[in-house]
Structure 1
Amino acid sequence: MNIFKGLYLILIEPDILITDYIGVGGIGATFLNSGILMILSIFMLYKCKININGVSIACLFLIAGFSMFGKNIFNVWFIIIGVYLYAKVQKDKFSKYIYIALFGTCLSPMVTQIMFGIGKPLMIRIPVGILVGLSIGFILPPLSAYLIRVHQGFNLYNIGFVAGIIGTIFVSIFKSYGFLPESRLIWTTENNMILGVYLFTIFILMIFIGFYLNDKSFKNLKNIFSYPGRAVTDFVMLEGFAPTLINMGINGLIGVIYILMVNGDLNGPIIGGIFTLVGFGAFGKHWKNMLPIFLGVYLGSLTKIWSINDPAILLAALFGTTLAPIAGEFGWKYGVLAGFIHSSVVLNVGVLHGGLNLYNNGFAGGIVAATLVPVIEAFRKEEV
């Protein structure tokens, strides 16, 4: 398929979970879309005079990853502009909300769905889609600041939790008018060799470059492994860029090896999940607090009705590490419990927002953390 034709198909296709852009427009168009969006995001951070740190890296890798399945060079801008308008109304600098704007593009599929996925005249679809995107962006900043209190930073994907609530409200309104988003599954297979080589190469390079920049040593890496990871834990600011880069590479290798071990498929959504592990390797995640979550999801596959390599469960294992701070703060056993519970919750919350919140695991993770953490803390007080 021609790369530009593939990119055009990516722009006009509904992006409801799970829509693998590799299956829509091909590998070349998918990586082109991801690369352009990542470059534009870096440019936005530069124009806002943001110093690159852990949250910046996490944000950029999320943009790159989710540009493989849901975010594209057309549908993200309306939400970003909505956040910009909020900053103007509040008479604040846009730079104060730039991360919320970029993370908040997880609801971009809602814009695409309205513009291209409903059977209404174009003159209705386009303005309504724009209005919905602007509205979402406008309400994201106040809600994200408020709702982080619900899970106390134990859910690293706070915007995913916020977006799940916003998405639930909007989809409920849509359903009241007869608009029912249809579920879909576009999931490519048979690309494990080419994508595996690509991923192993970049993650091994990360480790080597980090090692070289770290005076050819692994100093401070142990320090990273000692942090619980609860938001806000910025490894770049705490321990430096070089050991953080090593940690990011290790996280990426863990993600790829896990997928291959359970006979999963490497494709757009899976790369999105792996890139999220890598990005948050600068902002809270490391092998010690992630592996209990993986184990919890795996144990769930042994006792529950689904298979460990079902698409939704593969994604639950990767993205479920949003709950890594629970393992880091309270111990690996509670991390396993969190992963076990999360693997069930994440399969049942998508219907609330109609698959239009790309950070579905962040939504589920917020619910799990908000429920589990108070119970854990109550029992720990009794033990003391």
Structure 2
Amino acid sequence: MIRWKWAARLLVCTSLYACGSPSDAPANESSRIEQSSAASVGEVPPGVERGKPGNIGVSVDYAYSDIPIAGVAGGKNVVFVGQPINGKVVALDRFTGEPVGELPSPAEGFAVPFIIHTVGDPDEGRVTVLGAGGYPSPKPFVPANPTLYEFTYHYDRLHGFGATRTRDIPFTSVLVGFAEDFVHLDDGRYLVSDAILGSIWVVQTDGSITPGIVPKTWRAEDRIPQLAFCETGPTTQVNGYPFRFSGATQPGVSPLAVRRGTVYFNTTCGRGLYRFPLRSLSDHRQPYERARDIRLVQAVPPHVVMEELLDFTFHPYDPSDHWLYAADALKLRIIRIDVDTGRRQIVAEDARRFDFPSSLGFLPPIAGISPIVVVSNQQERTPLTNDAVTTTTFQLPFIVAKVFVP
């Protein structure tokens, strides 16, 4: 969904940034799980919550923040977490959760840095941040001005953290309503989704922007149904709260993932998980004609009022893992989906730890263990993103979690 229309206003209801590892057992134990070559997910030390019986994985608290967070990614020794209202991306020690530095931002700060992905070989220390360029405004329509920021970085406890911004890729040459996600391809290109105008753009290796799947015109009658934004939504229940999206937050095409030459995307408005061949984006058809290649992978069941998969990813370090891992925001859990059969499994479920999970990503393996890091931002608890409530009732702190999957 369009997650941060309200971010600038949250300064009135939260304190200044504070992020660090939890003082109780789980964070320390999660570090031990990763550092021990003998540890396995099935052998969880005392003091670590296992979550609900039947979950595939084990989840633990990793770090806390006193303001909303969005966007998470990590390398061999560091985890990056976005601070949209501060316009910053902070770096945390992968094992302790303590802050060790920040990515160098533009002079005016990042404009809504809420999507972060590491790219390439983890030994190279590369990360890309999507600055949305503004807050979503479909009515009245105000285009956003997103930018992809590329960085190289290094961190170890002896020399500390350092990073260099190596390239900015602005989208000033094309019309974007709100950039919701991006994915980095093996050949160096990027795909970027536009949740308001229902488009998928391609960033070429030279930084130029070309249309991937884009409507013929921006008129309502030319919208691509599987990508299109919708203006209203039903009311559902999230964590004990009635929950309803407004016209400014009802999402079109949102998360993107690529595996074996196929692009996957999810949309709440389109009520399903879809796919199309990556090669479609470089053929000689008109961009709107490529929408013919979109196929439904799994529809949302009719009895489900609304489903919001805010982020998803394949395991980048295990090509044999066929599951698509997703942040199931409205059901307060992390799930995985077999994209061939549509079968689903609950990886981790916890109403406190995954209180509206919005972003996730795998960390590179150490001793064969590659945890998922997850950030959640409690969107059901504020009228700024939930039309069905009138007061903000955030439960501090916001949690960065780790999930260990066998």
TM-score (norm 1): 0.28
Greater relative contact order (CA < 8 Å, ≥ 6 in sequence): 1
Larger helix share, 1 or 2: 1
Higher strand share: 2
